[in-house]
Structure 1
């Protein structure tokens, strides 16, 4: 049918002096190739988006290719570095990965679009900030996920606890009340540094700071030390291992098998808990990580994804249209409802209000943060001095001394180029 229509157009155009695939004729279609990550969106969502987008954009076809997370960094970098063949025009990347791709001029600067049309000032900071390199916006927030407190309602009832805590001080008191009679008030592994980061940010501290183009570790600041002290006090109200992180062993399994009142995890962890212990179905509740003051959740690490456009794309306009649609209010809220994510703007949080765990996550996401926005941060995590620092403090070493040592190691890693 398309060929027949094209022929008719050519015949008509020949009467006016010639025919071709004229840009304004409406017959030339462009394909936008989109790389999205495995499990980020359901196939039903992707099919529906593709169908409706193509109907609303008659000159564009969307080719969505699902990628696996394993080895994706090298694959994305190769796509950014090579000449155009059949490469992607839009790529989903982890929010903390944007700067490493932007550093080599591999991404399209989307600052003007984000400021003019996409409401950049309203984005969740934990997605927007790591999407910037310098003053330019390269990563456009797509969806977010962050930790909440998952708790056992039955153990709360047994301890006479009728409501979640309103502040961090309340949280400590409540957890101590729960830590009796053979129960653990909380299971918090000693090297859960993402949770620690939230406590540090809540105190006004940072993992590292940039000044005059130079990054330095700042775990030894007074604010960061207060965050570590809160972690120490909370972690002591349970039997979490001091020399391992939350995945060694996986805390979902530990929680499912033991009489543990609370863990800090993403809401989706509840599915694994109930699968292992079906008796807990209906007994799990959620609340945002408490902050220092009532009525405001605590700062948390925000994970999630941004969408980027390679600088070498040959379908810039189409790529921008796809990004605008996927990150716009309509499809962003559809994705959040479908996948139990947090939408990219706090104003869209009502879309997930009916899901208790996701609603708690969305409340915390409003104060979400991400790791320092520098391509070298990956070198810090590769040989993570924060984990060793936490274990040292939890086993009785002087916090100030260990914080200074860890801060120096972070500074050294960030200076590596």
Structure 2
């Protein structure tokens, strides 16, 4: 659902970890696991104090853009401050682009934020700097025995817990039910059906799909469906493989689908925010995490009962399309001047009250098995869980973040969609990926 990813949305963990997360998530949904671990602490706990015992006037919290709706952030802030007299939360929203360097700089400073949301695979990089507080002794207090199997692992480094699992999610198709009905189409099950339905949805001045040219998260799924990958490790050396026949087939399907809409070929889903584009009411589909529906309804309340969800279609009807999955952790910088109070914020964000609210509003997978019932009847989560069974992760290399930072795949996509030779551009991009992943850090 590093991460994945960004990264604009949801950076990823290792493939084995992600598959474990999503198998457990799907099982939890199917069984509506509501049993019996005790309630975790929530925002009604005691007022936090700093390490020196002084009650802080202000705690700075960094959340990533589009992780949460404005409404849920405001509810959390209001409830928390009411339950913790004397504490003020300064919640700052950060862009995924360039966040790695910003967090690294903050961890090395003398005035770091008190709590930071990070992509789960970023935890190891940040912990290696020595700038992240070890929270191993807090795991039991946070209900760690009930954490979703596999979700906690990316935050655990050498047996120590630095990142507290917060949520996981993956992409689905968000569609306008009214436009589908007007065009006489139903949610497709296969890629061929998807292309045909989208072509029909284009009639009458509506846009069948809004798919920007640099949505590499979606491209990755098409490549994985074809049996390809972004990079592979051969004998301890990484090799970019966007130029394989399988990866090129994935890019060709992306080109065909993208051509059925009016999405820009030189930008990603954040520029402009695709939820805002969909909210205008004349776009039939976007590919996004279910939580984007909240932003759509905020921008256009008239669409509240017109939004539907379905899994990204696969090559055959028996299996949905592969998806890029990811999630976020919470960390406390060693440079925080209010570590004890910061922990109380983490405890509330990881606790039952907030996790349940977040799961219902954002359709995310909550961090604990016993919270799964909060989303058991949620259409967006149901579509997400179906795709989760075939979820994948980015290559498990500590240098992958540099591939993203340099926009290697995004630039390749734009060139391939604007007249460049896809095979030639894929070879160039693969060579760059190979170089980056094999560079000593």
* Alignment match of 1:37 (pick from 57, 62, 77): 62
Q: Distance in 2 between matches of 1:118 and 1:197?
A: 33
Q: Distance in 2 between matches of 1:63 and 1:277?
A: 31
3-state SS in 2 of match to 1:175: helix
Q: Once structures 1 and 2 are overlaid, which stretch shifts more, 192-201 or 362-371?
A: 362-371
Q: Distance in 2 between matches of 1:111 and 1:212?
A: 34
Report if aligned partners of 2:120, 2:327 keep a CA contact under 8 Å in 1.
yes
Tell me the alpha carbon deviations over residues 156-190 of structure 1, each in whole angstroms, 9 at most, x when there is no partner: 112222x3223334323332343445443222122
* Alignment match of 1:166 (pick from 168, 189, 202): 189
3-state SS in 1 of match to 2:94: coil
How has the CA–CA distance of structure 1 residues 322 and 153 changed in structure 2, closer, same or farther, with 3 Å as cutoff? closer
Q: Distance in 2 between matches of 1:75 and 1:357?
A: 32
How has the CA–CA distance of structure 1 residues 293 and 137 changed in structure 2, closer, same or farther, with 3 Å as cutoff? farther
How has the CA–CA distance of structure 1 residues 406 and 351 changed in structure 2, closer, same or farther, with 3 Å as cutoff? same
Q: Which of 1 and 2 has greater Rg?
A: 1
3-state SS in 1 of match to 2:328: strand
Q: Distance in 1 between matches of 2:296 and 2:132?
A: 40
1:9 paired residue number: none
1:100 paired residue number: 125
1:220 paired residue number: 243
2:17 paired residue number: none
Q: How does 1:358-373 map to 2 (within 5 A)?
A: 358-361=381-384, 363-365=386-388, 367-373=390-396
Q: What is the Cα deviation at residue 142 of structure 1? A: 0.2
3-state SS in 2 of match to 1:290: coil
* Alignment match of 1:306 (pick from 299, 305, 329): 329
* Alignment match of 1:147 (pick from 158, 167, 171): 171
Q: Distance in 2 between matches of 1:231 and 1:195?
A: 8
How has the CA–CA distance of structure 1 residues 190 and 113 changed in structure 2, closer, same or farther, with 3 Å as cutoff? same
3-state SS in 2 of match to 1:42: helix
Q: Distance in 1 between matches of 2:300 and 2:82?
A: 40
Q: Relative contact order: is structure 1 or structure 2 higher (C-alpha 8 Å, sep ≥ 6)? A: 2
**In the comparison of the two structures, how many residue pairs are matched?**
378
Q: Distance in 1 between matches of 2:429 and 2:77?
A: 44
Q: How does 1:56-135 map to 2 (within 5 A)?
A: 66-69=91-94, 76-78=103-105, 80-81=107-108, 91-107=116-132, 117-118=144-145, 122-123=149-150, 131=155
Report if aligned partners of 1:178, 1:184 keep a CA contact under 8 Å in 2.
yes
Q: Distance in 1 between matches of 2:227 and 2:352?
A: 32
Q: How does 1:266-277 map to 2 (within 5 A)?
A: 266-270=289-293, 273=296
* Alignment match of 2:364 (pick from 331, 341, 354): 341
2:258 paired residue number: 235
Give the aligned CA root-mean-square deviation in angstroms: 4.4
Q: Which runs of 5+ in 1 are unaligned?
A: 1-27, 55-60
Tell me the alpha carbon deviations over residues 389-412 of structure 1, each in whole angstroms, 9 at most, x when there is no partner: 212333454433321211111222
Q: Distance in 2 between matches of 1:270 and 1:316?
A: 35
Q: Once structures 1 and 2 are overlaid, which stretch shifts more, 132-141 or 258-267?
A: 132-141
2:310 paired residue number: 287
Q: Distance in 2 between matches of 1:259 and 1:338?
A: 24
1:246 paired residue number: 269
Tell me the alpha carbon deviations over residues 81-128 of structure 1, each in whole angstroms, 9 at most, x when there is no partner: 468xx867754323353233133344466789879943566245xxx6
Please give the TM-score of this superposition, normalised by the length of structure 2.
0.66
Q: Distance in 2 between matches of 1:296 and 1:413?
A: 34
Please give the TM-score of this superposition, normalised by the length of structure 1.
0.70
2:35 paired residue number: none
Q: Distance in 1 between matches of 2:389 and 2:80?
A: 27
Q: What is the Cα deviation at residue 195 of structure 1? A: 1.5
Q: What is the Cα deviation at residue 307 of structure 1? A: 1.9
Q: Which runs of 5+ in 2 are unaligned?
A: 1-51
